[in-house]
Amino acid sequence: MVEQEFIVIAVHGEGDRDTVNTLQAHRDKMELQRLVQSGVSVKDMEQPDEPPDVMIILRDEVHDKRIEHPVHSWEEVEEWKEMIGWDQDKRHWKTGAKVKVTFSV
């Protein structure tokens, strides 16, 4: 395990779980309507909890390296929100924060 300090350059992806699930439910509904209109018989689909699609982009100032870290769970999304900042009203990630992160090597 290595702990290192990084600067957050950017964060790509939606950080709000409810928004992600709502948008996917809408896409699924539109797809079901399209299938029904084309004559395909479909059963009601249960809406799963969509996984996060978030990529944290960090810069190691010491070695001047860029690191892309994919987020794997909503719990991890919440941890990153606390570390770097999240504007709930704008649904916008904050950037420029210095964070200490421990990665398994």
pLDDT greater than 80 at residue 37: yes
Flag the least confident range among 2-6, 8-12, 33-37, 93-97. 2-6
Q: pTM, whole model, 2 decimals? A: 0.68
Burial of residue 25 (number of CB atoms within 10 Å: 0-12, 13-18, 19+): middle
Which pLDDT does position 17 carry in this prediction? Answer: 87
Each residue's pLDDT tens digit, 70-92: 999 999 999 998 988 888 888 78
Rounded CA separation 70/62 (Å): 22
DSSP state string for 37-75: HTT---PPPP-PPPPP-EEEEEEETTTTEEEEEEE-SHH
Rounded CA separation 85/101 (Å): 15
